[in-house]
Amino acid sequence: MYGEGVDLPALEWSWVEERLAAALLYWCDSAASDWPHPRPVWGVWHRSLLCLSVGSPVLRRAISADGRVTVHLESATEVVLVEGAVVESADVDSAVDAYDHKYDYSYEVSTYGRLLAVAPRKVLAWTAGGPAGREGFSAAGAWSFTAPG
């Protein structure tokens, strides 16, 4: 599944988008981190961007230094991994509105900083049976996207 072809039924992109939209937590790390340390953050899947609220100053600095981000969801049996890059988004207000609605919260950009908009470059996803796939994989998918701009 990591760059190799697999003989499994293909997952649909809509399956991935449903999980990205429904997730309450996104585990995020930067390629520039000195040591891998994924952190749970809140966010929204909004207009093909993953918009994240990154409160950790260390993670925010690492992301700012490099721009490359890996995000995964919590499930070990319905896996979604997003490798992407932080991009400028002109649609910050509607992303914050979607965030506020999702979490029943009032996100203050002036207090917490802008949501980081991550444009996917590569997405890997699979489903597996049993804890961490012990009963085998049942479906998989891989998608590549061109860099924005």
- pLDDT mean values, one per 10 residues, the chain (149 residues): 66 97 95 80 96 88 88 94 90 91 95 92 91 79 82
Residue 114 CB neighbours (<10 A)? 14
CATH assignment of the domain containing 29 = 2.30.110.10
> Distances in Å between the alpha carbon of 11 and those of 16, 20, 48, 70?
8, 14, 18, 20
Is 90 a domain residue?
yes
The verdict on residue 32 lying in a domain is: yes
Number of separate domains in the chain: 1
> Domain residues for 73?
13-144
